[in-house]
Amino acid sequence: MRSTRPAPFHVPPLRRAAAVAAVVPLLALAACNAGGSTQGSGTGAQADSPATTGAAAPSSAAIVSFNVNRGATSVPVDTTLKASISDGKLESVTVRGPEGRLDGALGSDGTAWTASGLLEPGTTYRVQAKGVDAAGVAVSKAMSFRTEALDVKTQQVFPSIAPLDGEKVGVGMPVIVTFDLPVKDRASIEKHLTVTSSPVQQGAWHWISDTEVHWRPKSYWKPGTKVHVAADINSVSAGGGVYGQKDRESDFTVGDAHVYKVNAQTHQMQVYSNGKLLRTLPITTGKPGFITRSGVKVIIEKFASKRMNSETVGIGGSEAYDIDNVQWAMRLTYSGEFIHAAPWSVGSQGRANVSHGCTGMSTANAKWLYDLSRRGDVVETTGTDRPMEPGNGYGDWNIGWKAYEKGSALA
Q: Given this model, what pLDDT does residue 310 score?
A: 82
Query: Which residue segments constitute the domains of the chain, with CATH numbers given?
Result: 26-146 (2.60.40.3780), 156-255 (2.60.40.3710), 258-398 (2.40.440.10)
Alpha-carbon gap, residue 76 to 362, rounded angstroms: 60
Q: pLDDT tens across 254-286, in order?
A: 999 999 999 999 999 999 999 999 999 999 999
- CA 165 and chain centroid, separation: 13
Cβ atoms 133, 88 nearer than 8 A: yes
Spell out the residues 6+ positions from residue 237 whose beta carbon is closer than 8 angstroms to its own.
Answer: 78, 185, 188, 243
Alpha-carbon gap, residue 163 to 174, rounded angstroms: 8
User: Does 32 participate in catalysis according to the annotation?
Assistant: no
Q: Given this model, what pLDDT does residue 59 score?
A: 77
Q: pLDDT tens across 23-42, in order?
A: 333 333 333 333 333 333 34
Taking alpha carbons only, the member of 5, 293, 280 closest to residue 124 is 5
Alpha-carbon gap, residue 378 to 270, rounded angstroms: 12
**Of 214, 258, 356, 358, catalytic:** 358
Q: pLDDT tens across 227-247, in order?
A: 999 999 999 999 999 999 999
**Of 214, 267, 340, 356, catalytic:** 340
Beta-carbon neighbour count of residue 238 at 10 Å? Answer: 25
Quote the pTM value: 0.82
Spell out the residues 6+ positions from residue 330 whose beta carbon is closer than 8 angstroms to its own.
Answer: 299, 300, 301, 302, 303, 338, 339, 340, 369, 370, 373
Q: Which long-range contacts (CB under 8 A, 24 or more apart) does 12-19 make?
A: 14/46, 14/47, 14/48, 14/49, 15/48, 15/49, 15/50, 15/51, 16/49, 17/49, 17/51, 17/52, 17/55, 17/56, 17/57, 18/51, 19/53, 19/54, 19/55
